[in-house]
Amino acid sequence: MLLGVGVFLTVGHGMAWEGMSEAERAAELAMWAPTPAQLAEQLAALQGSYFDVVAHRAFFVFMAQTMYFLLFFFWRCGGMMLLGMALYKWSFLDGRRSERAYLLAAATGVPIGLALAWYGVMELERVRFGMPERTVVDVWREQFLELGSIPGIQYVQIFENRGAMMGASNPHPHCQIWANAHLPTVPAREQASLTGYRAKHGECMLCRYLAAELEIMERVVCENAGFVALVPFWAIWPFEMMILSRTHLAGVAELDSAGRDLLGDILRRVSIRYDNLFAVPLPNSMGFHQQPTDGLEHPEWHLHLHFFPPLLRSATIRKFSVGYEMLAMPQRDFTPEMAAARLREAGEVHYRGPQAG
């Protein structure tokens, strides 16, 4: 059993970003950016015959059933099985031992089990399985550039649904990137507004808006040298937020290394503030709005991100956009200024400890 626990922790640590060497991290990232040759090989195998697929998968399957089985599954399953067999043989499972024996087993087993489980939970809390935000920003940018360069792709939508309440099927943070052959409705509407404002006033609407918010500082939640997080005055969701770049950038493609560090920094801080709000990993949908990838110049676009969390008063009481919202107009339960004040108070030390977030 001890071997089982030890192997489990070793494997767990090896899989966490924190436990990886530089070379392992590079290999992990390379997996997310396959070369065209690797992609072609994978596609050819998976679209080929049964035997092509077998040849492609054989090595991994062989390893899973030999090495991984011996190192990992054997100890976990075999250990439990041997334990069960022993207890059965000692007539422990059919209730034929003395009452004292069962009490003794409970008195020793429960504390040991609890201690082991507690240690496991603490280790998971400590290592986490997330990547540093800067790494995620780099992958987003690479994917944007790669997908955007494909002829016919007009817009690359990067977004993330977090939490079951927003339809996420996996509990860990994971994003989606949709490459569109057309400009979808919402960015198209924003593009029309940005173009119209620029034509009329000769400046960028979002640069002007950001300057106005920074002047009054009532709805700004947090900021760094590159980005500002604020609750927009038109917010419809109770704790809706927006991150805007301070300088006029059309999209992530224009972010240099320092800019990507700063975007990672503000994303981390915003997500800690959100989690602290109700002391839960706050469910939300977030995503980028930026220039289309239609090959044209887009001086009107100003890089920004939107965050839409559904919660209203607590971890379980959510905002429903129903009745009046459907028939008349959005109805706000509190003002964006109040929401910004709550988010400022939420602080940037994660409620589960300084390491988390």
User: Least separation, in Å, of the C-beta of 250 and Zn ion?
Assistant: 9
Residue 17 · residue 25 · CB < 8 Å? yes
Instruction: Find the residue with minimal CB distance to Zn ion.
Output: 204
Q: Is 70 helix (H, G, I), strand (E, B) or coil?
A: helix
Per-residue b/e over 213-227, b at no fewer than 16 CB within 10 Å? beeeeebbbbbeebb
Select 209 or 278, whichever has its Cβ closest to Zn ion.
Answer: 209
- CA distance linking residue 103 with residue 350, whole number of Å: 41
Residue 252 · residue 122 · CB < 8 Å? no
User: Least separation, in Å, of the C-beta of 174 and Zn ion?
Assistant: 22
Strand order, beta sheet including 175-180: 175-180, 155-162, 284-289, 304-308, 241-245, 227-230, 220-223
Closest CA to 230 of 334, 343, 335, 331: 343
User: Least separation, in Å, of the C-beta of 288 and Zn ion?
Assistant: 8
Select 157 or 276, whichever has its Cβ closest to Zn ion.
Answer: 157
Select 75 or 302, whichever has its Cβ closest to Zn ion.
Answer: 302
Site stretch for Zn ion (CB under 5 A), options 1-9, 32-40, 267-275, 294-302: 294-302
Site stretch for Zn ion (CB under 5 A), options 84-92, 170-178, 228-236, 295-303: 295-303
- Residues between 183 and 222 with contacts to Zn ion, criterion CB under 5 A: 190, 204, 206-207
Select 91 or 193, whichever has its Cβ closest to Zn ion.
Answer: 193
- CA distance linking residue 113 with residue 121, whole number of Å: 12
Query: Site for Zn ion (CB under 5 A): which residue of 268, 269, 289, 319?
Result: 289
- Residues between 65 and 104 with contacts to Zn ion, criterion CB under 5 A: none
Burial of 156 (0-12, 13-18, 19+ CB in 10 A): buried
Site stretch for Zn ion (CB under 5 A), options 2-10, 107-115, 254-262, 281-289: 281-289
Per CB under 5 A, 302 contacts Zn ion: yes
From 172, 174, 201, 248, the catalytic residue: 174
Output DSSP code: residue 166: G
- Residues between 239 and 268 with contacts to Zn ion, criterion CB under 5 A: 248
Burial of 261 (0-12, 13-18, 19+ CB in 10 A): middle
Select 57 or 189, whichever has its Cβ closest to Zn ion.
Answer: 189
CA dihedral (320, 325, 228, 299) in degrees, to 10, reads 130
- CA distance linking residue 56 with residue 126, whole number of Å: 37
| Helix 257-278 with 336-345: angle, nearest 10 deg | 100
- CA distance linking residue 130 with residue 124, whole number of Å: 11
Site stretch for Zn ion (CB under 5 A), options 10-18, 36-44, 270-278, 296-304: 296-304
User: Least separation, in Å, of the C-beta of 187 and Zn ion?
Assistant: 7
Q: Taking the mean position of all CA atoms in its chain, how far away is CA 27? A: 20
Select 243 or 346, whichever has its Cβ closest to Zn ion.
Answer: 243
User: Least separation, in Å, of the C-beta of 175 and Zn ion?
Assistant: 17
User: Least separation, in Å, of the C-beta of 66 and Zn ion?
Assistant: 51
- Count residues binding Zn ion (CB under 5 A): 7
Token pair, residue 131, equals 């990547």
Select 131 or 252, whichever has its Cβ closest to Zn ion.
Answer: 252
User: Least separation, in Å, of the C-beta of 204 and Zn ion?
Assistant: 3
Check if 304 is active-site: no
Token pair, residue 344, equals 């400022």
- CA distance linking residue 221 with residue 272, whole number of Å: 12
Catalytic residues: 174
What does the binding site for Zn ion look like in residue numbers (CB under 5 A)? 190, 204, 206-207, 248, 289, 302
